[in-house]
Structure 1
Amino acid sequence: MKKYCLIMLSVVLLHSAFGQTDRPVLDIMLTNYEYPFPVHHLKMKSQKQELSMAYMDIKPEKGNGKTVVLLHGKNFNGAYWKQTIQELSAEGYRVIVPDQIGFGKSSKPSTYQFTFQQLAVNTKAILDTLKIDRILLLGHSMGGMLAVRLTLMFPEIVEKLVLENPIGLEDWKLVAPYVTIDQNYQTELKANYESAKKYQLEFYYDKKWKPEYDEWVYLLTGWSKHPGYPVVALNNAQTSDMIFTQPVVYELKNIMAPTLLIIGTRDRTAIGKNNVKDPVAREKMGQYQLLGKATQKKIPGAQLVELEDVGHLPHIEAFDLFIKPLKQFLKK
């Protein structure tokens, strides 16, 4: 009977296959997607709601007494840190990897005021629960903006800060027109495997696709055919608004923690870029070969490692180039 149920389940999943990946439609809590390491959940009350914040807590076989916290980007969740986790764990680091509220395996509240301050408080709640009071902090993309905010709010806990192709190194709203949450929501409702792959192919990987990149498109869009997807689409629109309207660039000068910038110089990510009509102004946005250098000057004592011909995802596209300076910086 058990074997029969497993066979029937497999048939159901195959019939619900998504897009070109021939994989099942994901539910909006990713309960039918296995993360690379065990997932824990912190139950929290936030904005008068009972929420669940997912996180991975990977303890090394032989610890060095240090804890690294990895913060994901907007189009991702904690799962894409798998190789980074493995490498850091082998070096003796304990690694904490949260899914922010609205992302991955965490709650998707339909009514929530998303701010980087709120997400920083939520993240610290995990650390407080685990009784961790000192961390090495790494943020990628949107996670870089969050890492900056967390460092500014709780400087006493951040021993070192690493920013991997963070967005928010420029204030896009000075150039790009505002797009409302309602407008973004309608765009998000139309998201699918093909559109997400096209975006990532052009903006992340310089039109050079590798089969392993499909996993991150699947995780981003695998739930687009699920009945609960409109809530995910709304959260995506709300967090896009948060990113656009809550710049951290003006406060980079206030970071006191030793900081490393790891910048793929081919990156051209800029929120609202496609809505800028002036081609000259549009072309100036997201120039990471310039933004990395400019940001290094703004953060006191910051170190800069530029990865030539690497795009928005160094730890996926060029892991060996990414991990070497990261490990060197963390060991100092």
Structure 2
Amino acid sequence: MRALPILALCLAPLLALTSAPAPAEETPPPVPLGIGLEGFAYPFPVRFLPLTRDGEAQRLAYMDVAPTDNANGRTVLLLHGRNFPSSYWEPVIRALTNAGFRVVVPDQLGFGKSSKPIGAFTFDRMAADTVALADSLKIPRFDIVAHSMGGMLAVRIARSYPQRVNSLVLEAPIGLEDYRYSVPPVSDETLMAREGDLSAEAYRKQLMTSYALSIPASAIEPFVSIRERVKGSGEFPRWLKSFVNSYQMIWGQPVVHEIPLVKAPTLFVMGANDRNAPGKGFAPTELRSGMGDNTGHARALANRMPNGKAEVINNVGHLVHMEATEMFNALTLEFLNTH
């Protein structure tokens, strides 16, 4: 009978181990993604145009989507923003092709599935690459629908190649002010450290707040995931350098002074809540509140253009074609069909 307490003492540690809660499982790291987004599917087939930049062979990725019915003989180029691959244009592509347009959707060098140059970026070079793509596809004249940074590029194309551009739709374009007046120069090293250390949660918050988005965070999760997964690539330092170079281009190569000189019919489609201004976080506190009056700038610039117009959509931020898809598509198609 005395052996029972001894047996109980021997079993106690074992029972304690078996009854203890299992350790929490660690969240596995995201599956790495190549910096050419090789593991990320686009909604339409992707082709590549060989180019040369920085003495290296590069590839410009693009989608070329035919009209679904009743082709009208016109082509629209869709130009993406800095934080997004061209795949985010899918709802606009479908609306345009259903209306009879051929739609060409490039990833500019440095973005999406295109190669990532590490030399300095210029809007002039980017414009030349875009026109080279149109030439390769035998498209002599086209309309442009452009978002954010793509709006700055669209202005440069319209100024440098006016005979090629039929009309412009600028969706929440940046570059409607000269950021150099408010934001001091920031070194590449500072930018690379800041962008490289940005967590998925911080990036998600940055997009939702800086862009004043009216859509749930789940809608931008694919773009947050892309950025987080690219960190696992062995070429992430190259991606990071390329991404930083695009900021320096936006800051150092303003187009606002050229916008009133654009002769092509131009429609600004703005989100009323959008006060995005690249570099605002680096500006002195007393200057930040004056930055990003994008709606006001668009209206003022449209009034100074030979054929400009601004439409503002209430309760919408920087991603107009995702936040108010039907309204954006309707405004775009009405404008294109009028011109």
Common topology (TM > 0.5): yes
Partner of 2:107 in structure 1?
A: 99
The residue that corresponds to 2:322 in the other structure is: 316
Give 1:209 deviation, angstroms: 2.2
In structure 1, stretches of 5+ residues that fail to align are: 1-14, 19-23
Structure 1 residue 293 corresponds to structure 2 residue 299: yes
What amino acid is the match of 1:233?
Answer: L
* 2:285 is the alignment partner of 1:275: no
Q: 1:223 to 1:132 in 2, by over 3 A?
A: same
Distance 1:210 1:308 in 2: 19
How far apart, CA to CA, are the structure 1 residues paired with 2:335 and 2:236? Answer: 40
What is the TM-score when the length of structure 2 is the normalising length?
Answer: 0.88
Q: Which residue of 1 aligns with 2:244?
A: 237
Q: 2: distance between equivalents of 1:178 and 1:291? A: 23
Among all aligned residue pairs of Structure 1 and Structure 2, give the percentage whose two residues are the same amino acid: 37
- Choose 219-228 or 173-182, whichever is displaced more: 219-228
Residues 36-115 of structure 1: pairs in structure 2 closer than 5 A = 36-62=43-69, 63-110=71-118, 112-115=119-122
Deviation at residue 298 of structure 1 after TM alignment: 2.8
CA distance in 1, matches of 2:227, 2:157: 25
Tell me, in whole angstroms, the C-alpha distance in 1 between the residues paired with 2:164 and 2:28. Answer: 45
- Matched residue, 1:178: 185
Asked if 1 retains the 8 angstrom alpha-carbon contact of 2:212 and 2:275, the reply is no
Task: Indicate conservation of the 8 Å contact 2:81/2:148, yes or no.
Answer: yes
Please say which structure displays the higher CA radius of gyration.
Answer: 2
Count of equivalent residues: 311
Q: What amino acid maps onto 2:225 in structure 1?
A: Y
Q: Is the 8 A contact 1:28 1:228 kept in 2?
A: yes
Once the two structures are TM-superposed, the CA of residue 17 in structure 1 deviates from its matched residue by 4.8
Amino acid at match of 1:105: K
1:210 positional shift: 4.1
- Give the Cα–Cα distance (whole angstroms) in 2 for the partners of residues 230 and 243 of structure 1: 20
1:118-147 CA-to-partner distances (Å, cap 9, x unmatched) read 000011111110000010101100000000
8 Å contact kept, 2:48–2:59 = yes
Alpha-carbon distance change, 286 to 160 in structure 1, aligned in 2, over 3 angstroms: same
Following superposition, the deviation at residue 207 of structure 1 comes to 7.1
For residues 156 and 225 of structure 1, do their structure 2 counterparts lie closer, same or farther at Cα, with a shift above 3 Å needed? same
What's 1:153 paired with? 160
8 Å CA contact 1:71, 1:97 repeated in 2: yes
3-state SS of 1:322 partner = helix
Mapped contact 1:191–1:221 kept (Cα < 8 A): no
Q: Which amino acid aligns with 2:291?
A: M
Instruction: Supply the distance in 2 between the matched residues of 1:16 and 1:82 (Cα, whole angstroms).
Output: 30
Give the letter aligned to residue 43 of structure 2: P
Indicate yes or no: 2:314 matched with 1:303. Answer: no
AA partner of residue 239 (structure 2): V
- Shift in CA distance, 192/226, structure 1 to aligned 2, threshold 3 Å: farther
Aligned to 2:266: 259
State whether residues 211 and 319 of structure 2, in contact with CA within 8 Å, keep that contact through their aligned partners in structure 1.
Answer: yes
Q: Which amino acid aligns with 2:324?
A: A
2: CA distance between counterparts of 1:70 and 1:98?
Answer: 7
8 Å CA contact 2:214, 2:323 repeated in 1: no
Contact 2:169 2:266 in 1 (8 A): yes
Unpaired runs of 5+ residues, structure 2, are 1-26
Give the superposed CA RMSD: 1.5
In 1: Cα distance, 2:43 partner to 2:98 partner: 15
Deviates more, 1:188-197 or 1:98-107: 188-197
How far did residue 260 of structure 1 move?
0.5
Question: Aligned partners of 1:304, 1:244: CA distance in 2, in Å?
Answer: 24
Alignment CA distance shift 1:84-1:17 (3 Å): farther
Q: Which shows bigger deviation, 315-324 or 125-134?
A: 315-324
Alpha carbons of 1:206 and 1:69: their partners in 2 closer, same or farther (altered >3 Å)?
closer
Give the CA deviation at 1:16: 6.7
Q: Distance in 2 between matches of 1:115 and 1:94?
A: 28
Q: In 2, distance between residues paired with 1:320 and 1:282?
A: 33
Number of the residue aligned with 2:223: 216
Match of 2:10 in 1: none
Amino acid at match of 1:88: L
Contact 1:205–1:317 at 8 Å: present in 2 too? no
Distance 1:206 1:123 in 2: 29
The runs of at least 4 aligned residues of structure 1 exceeding 3 Å deviation read 205-208
TM-score, length basis structure 1: 0.90
Greater CA deviation, 139-148 or 56-65? Answer: 56-65
Residues 242-293 of structure 1: CA deviation (Å, up to 9, x unaligned): 00000000111210001111011111111221122233x2111001231221
Alpha carbons 1:264, 1:306 under 8 Å: kept:
yes
